[in-house]
Structure 1
Amino acid sequence: MKHEIIEIPIISEAIRKLGAPTSALARVGGLLYTCGMPPIDVKTGEIVKGDIATQTRACMEALSFTLRHGGSSFDNVFKTLVFITDNDFAAGMNAVYRDYFNGAFPTRSCVTIKPWTHFDIEIECIATVG
């Protein structure tokens, strides 16, 4: 099946500044796949610093921005994968994460990983188009 890479100027540039050789979004058939989205400010492209709630909100806003560019929204997300650097961050992440799904939560995996240098969370998702 053919795929289309969708470049999102601010997001793609910010991710590449981090040294990641990836694109922000790919469309395969009627599905959108985001890359792991770090806490990026969608206006400046800078990494958002702060506690896990602040970083989670930045990740979710960057995902929302990216999904909109692909013709979708959180209403169409059916799978997410969250990477955090400390299990103790789960409660703070969940407090923000749940606000983006109106109670209709997608399936989710949450994995604790070795800490990154610049941030504590990264979230990716899969959504239908439209």
Structure 2
Amino acid sequence: MYKAVFTEKAPKALGPYSQAIRVGDFMFISGQTPINPQTNEIVESDIVLQTRQAMENIKAILEQEGLSLDHLVKTTIFLKDMNQFSIVNEEYGKYLGDHRPARSTVEVSRLPKDALIEIEAIATV
């Protein structure tokens, strides 16, 4: 069995999917774009601010289930511009401290709502 996870502290899904699904000892977090859940709009078109918002959204979903960013075991980062890789690394690293989940980063041609970044994650529970 699985459980759909939802929190008002993260943006509502943009389509027919859940913010996250908890199954067994894992939680699969859908890709989080930098949408501010209070305004339902993408934050300013700045990679630092957008990375922060995507990470805050992931953090809120984890906290809904009593978890933290330390529970992350894998993330995938989708970037509109790979030239911003080092900037994203720096901001992403601030959220994780010494914790280092496995990660992939890929450049994509376009993201929902023309975001600059989207991050999906897998956590252990």
For normalisation by structure 2, the TM-score amounts to: 0.90
What pairs with 1:87-126 in structure 2 (closer than 5 Å)? 87-116=82-111, 117-126=113-122
* CA distance in structure 2 between the aligned counterparts of 1:7 and 1:64, rounded to whole angstroms: 12
Indicate if the aligned counterparts of 1:11 and 1:45 stay in contact, CA closer than 8 A.
no
By percentage of residues, which structure has more strand? 2
RMSD: 1.5
Could you tell me which of 62, 69, 73 is aligned with 1:74? 69
Indicate if the aligned counterparts of 1:42 and 1:61 stay in contact, CA closer than 8 A.
no
Deviations 1:62-117 (A, max 9, x none): 11011101221101111100000111011111110001111221000001111234
SS at structure 2 position matched to 1:11: coil
* CA distance in structure 2 between the aligned counterparts of 1:12 and 1:90, rounded to whole angstroms: 24
Indicate if the aligned counterparts of 1:42 and 1:65 stay in contact, CA closer than 8 A.
no
Q: Gaps spanning 5+ residues in structure 2: where?
A: none
Indicate if the aligned counterparts of 2:78 and 2:106 stay in contact, CA closer than 8 A.
yes
Aligned to 1:7: 6
* CA distance in structure 2 between the aligned counterparts of 1:110 and 1:65, rounded to whole angstroms: 22
TM-superposed deviation, 1:10: 5.2
Indicate if the aligned counterparts of 1:83 and 1:112 stay in contact, CA closer than 8 A.
yes
* CA distance in structure 1 between the aligned counterparts of 2:11 and 2:24, rounded to whole angstroms: 21
SS at structure 1 position matched to 2:42: coil
Q: How many pairs were matched up?
A: 124
